[in-house]
């Protein structure tokens, strides 16, 4: 098989199919909700057979996890970009605050997160996968905090892991609140970050 004259391998075709399914499922989960979106509907919308879905995902839970992974990846990229600004620590926190005003608490994202997390009550698989992802995200945030503080040549007031857990918890809670009330100011997030990252020059 070729695409614009370039030979596409079976593995590449499967990867393309997988990405297409994730993109379609993401839009359907976000617009219609997790419960009412079936694999049959995703397959039809994406232009594939249901067998193509099952050749890439064990079931709807696994497909939704892939969708959530794509959303989380975008969020992490936004946070990393904010903290990569060529500025001092306070300037980077302000850059993060600006990102948070747009990227934190999007109603459809939050609704999907909450709806899917509710499935954890009845699915040990979902519960275990969400725990694993939250731990990975917390570890990534801790690593980013260490790098930012190292760049600023300052010492953390609290261990990076503790700061990451607090910030992740606040981000999830604040995101849930902002999904209902967009007028909630994320400035409190920046203020807490300054408190947690209160430092002394090395």
- From first to last of its 202 residues, the chain has per-residue pLDDT tens of 454 545 678 888 888 999 999 999 999 999 999 999 999 999 999 999 989 999 999 999 999 999 999 999 998 898 888 888 777 888 888 888 888 888 777 888 888 999 998 888 889 999 999 999 999 999 999 998 898 888 888 888 888 999 899 888 888 888 888 888 888 888 888 888 888 776 543 4
The sign of the torsion formed by the CA atoms of 91, 93, 95, 101 equals negative
Write down the pLDDT at residue 198: 63
Question: What's the rounded Cα separation, in Å, for the pair 155 and 144?
Answer: 14
List, in order of start, the domains of the chain with CATH numbers.
Answer: 1-57 (1.10.10.60), 60-201 (1.10.357.10)
Beta bridge partner(s), residue 7: 2
In this prediction the pTM is 0.83
Tell me the β-bridge partners of 3.
6
Helix pair angle (89-103, 60-83), 10° resolution: 140
Burial (CB count within 10 angstroms: exposed 0-12, middle 13-18, buried 19+), residue 84: middle
In this predicted structure, what is the pLDDT of residue 200? 42
Q: To 5 degrees, how large is the angle CA 74–CA 78–CA 79?
A: 120
* N-terminal to C-terminal alpha carbon distance within the chain: 59
Which tokens belong to 191? 């203020």
Rg, the chain, Cα only:
20
pLDDT of residue 58: 92
Is residue 171 within 8 Å of residue 104, measured between CB atoms?
yes
- The pLDDT, as a whole number, for residue 106 is 84
Return the pLDDT at 202.
41
Task: Name 31's Cβ contacts closer than 8 Å, sequence gap at least 6.
Answer: 108
Distance (Å, whole) CA 189 – CA 197: 12
Contact 130, 136 (CB under 8 A): no
């Amino acid at each position: 098989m070729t695409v614009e004259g370039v030979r596409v391998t079976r593995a590449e075709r499967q990867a393309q199919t997988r990405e297409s399914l994730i993109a379609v499922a993401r839009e359907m989960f976000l617009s219609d909700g997790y419960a009412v979106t079936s694999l049959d509907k995703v397959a039809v919308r994406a232009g594939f057979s249901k067998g193509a879905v099952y050749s890439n995902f064990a079931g709807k839970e696994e497909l939704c996890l892939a969708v959530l992974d794509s959303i989380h990846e975008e969020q992490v990229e936004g946070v990393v970009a904010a903290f990569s600004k060529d500025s001092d620590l306070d300037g980077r926190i302000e850059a993060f605050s600006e990102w948070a005003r747009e990227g934190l608490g999007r109603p459809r994202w939050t609704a999907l997160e909450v709806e899917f997390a509710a499935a954890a009550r009845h699915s040990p698989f979902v519960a275990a996968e969400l725990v694993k992802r939250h731990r990975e995200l917390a570890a990534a945030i801790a690593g980013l905090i260490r790098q930012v503080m190292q760049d600023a040549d300052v010492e953390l007031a609290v261990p990076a892991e503790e700061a990451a857990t607090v910030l992740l918890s606040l981000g999830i809670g604040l995101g849930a609140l902002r999904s209902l009330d967009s007028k909630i100011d994320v400035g409190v997030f920046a203020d807490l970050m300054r408190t947690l990252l209160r430092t002394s020059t090395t």
